[in-house]
Amino acid sequence: MNWLDLLYIPVAAAYSPSLLRKKRGGWRERFGGTEPLPPKKRPRVLLHAVSVGEVNSLRTLVPQLVEHAEVVVSATTDTGIERARALFGSTCRVVRYPLDLSGAVRRFFDAVAPDAVALVELEVWPNFVREAGRREVPIGVINGRLSARSSRGYRRIRRWLAPVFGALEFAAVQDETYARRFLEMGVRPDRCRVTGSMKWDAAGLPSDGPSPDALRLAEELGLDRSRPLIVAGSTAEGEEALIRAATPEGVQLLCAPRKPERFGEAAAALPGCVRRSSRAPGGPGARWFLLDTIGELGLACQLADLVVMGRTFVPLGGSDPIEPIALGKPTLVGPEVANFASIVSAFGADDAIVRTTRDRLAADLARLMEDADERERLRRAGLACIESHRGASGRHADLLRALLLTRPAR
């Protein structure tokens, strides 16, 4: 045990009531009880992604690495573990990332024995970084992102975190703004580089129409495929009612709350809505639909004529608009996009997204639903913008392959 472990104890005690209210698995692994991996035949790289979003961003990187190295993917959340197993279980080992306690981290390194570690977006935990250094395992950040809010919080404890950031072998970040913030935290200038966002690479391209699974979802919900549909994805408190009130007459609305614990609240904001969890389709004339399940938002977006991104009308930092735009869907966002500012700015520069406000939402929805030509223009501009920003996964793969070549398996 070290001084940092002692500091974590009161923090854990303060948050324990919240933790106990949530169902969490894998406690043995969280404390470093990972099953030891088989002996290595090739260099082994560990890719750590916190949850579903970060795991998804690895979809185009992992295939470029498995030809040259053993790839282990770790995640923190239960949903992240499930998604990693679904995507990479046939080609990679998937493990639980440990709590940042010195003993847990030490046992994790003993079990996994990586030759290099890449942390997706951030996740720079002091004990973990120090243990990597003690074992001479190079560790760095890929797809690096440090939001303004996180940066402000980190700066308050910079004197303690600067040596940790300074120990990173590399920080491959999404844009110049993030690069500046990583440098402010102590990353060495010669180890910080702008490589772009892997989310552009992971975005799928649209097919000729909805997939069979998407059409099945429409049938099971009772969506009328002859009537227009707006999908509101990853909504937060108050947004279902806001978007419902702004939806034009005759248009169907499907809301998909981001957090399962809000499903009941969202249903109350959509009186008489058809709930996916009921497994009963709506009758003729049904307008309001609630996707109170996990993992089906992408299917719903395939059915949409227009997508509204949730968490952008409340101060929660926004949601990533790449996926619906990659599906060829005209997409609107509200003013709160701090967590995806560079992505929204890129789309905005190509006039490939609609930025609106609470007051303008109804007018913008009505205008776009009436103007098929404008929706088609947005579709084409969005796809062209995504194509122009691809390539970060390849740059990260080159970086990690070069690192492994200079650090043979131990």
- Cβ neighbours of 317 (radius 10 Å): 17
Instruction: Provide the pLDDT for residue 22.
Output: 55
Instruction: Name the residue with tokens 């248009």.
Output: 251
- Residue 31 near residue 104 (C-beta atoms within 8 A): yes
H or E stretch at 404: helix 392-406
Sheet of 139-144: strand order equals 93-96, 70-75, 44-48, 116-120, 139-144, 170-173, 192-194
The residues pairing with 213 across neighbouring beta strands, listed in sequence order, are none
Instruction: Provide the pLDDT for residue 410.
Output: 60
- Residue 326 near residue 205 (C-beta atoms within 8 A): yes
- Residue 223 near residue 210 (C-beta atoms within 8 A): no
CA 313/CA 335 separation, integer angstroms:
6
Torsion angle in degrees (nearest 10) through CA of 108, 114, 118, 119: 0
Q: Spell out the CATH class of 212-388.
A: alpha beta
> Position 331: which residue type?
T
Instruction: Provide the pLDDT for residue 190.
Output: 97
The residues pairing with 170 across neighbouring beta strands, listed in sequence order, are 140
Instruction: Provide the pLDDT for residue 407.
Output: 67
DSSP of 35-61, one letter per residue?
PPPPPPSS-EEEEE--SHHHHHTTTTT
pTM: 0.83
Instruction: Provide the pLDDT for residue 15.
Output: 42
* Spans of all domains in the chain: 25-196+391-406, 212-388
Q: Does domain 25-196+391-406 have CATH number 3.40.50.11720?
A: yes
Instruction: Name the residue with tokens 């030509």.
Output: 373
Instruction: Provide the pLDDT for residue 147.
Output: 87
What are the residue ranges in the chain where pLDDT is below 70? 1, 3-24, 407-410
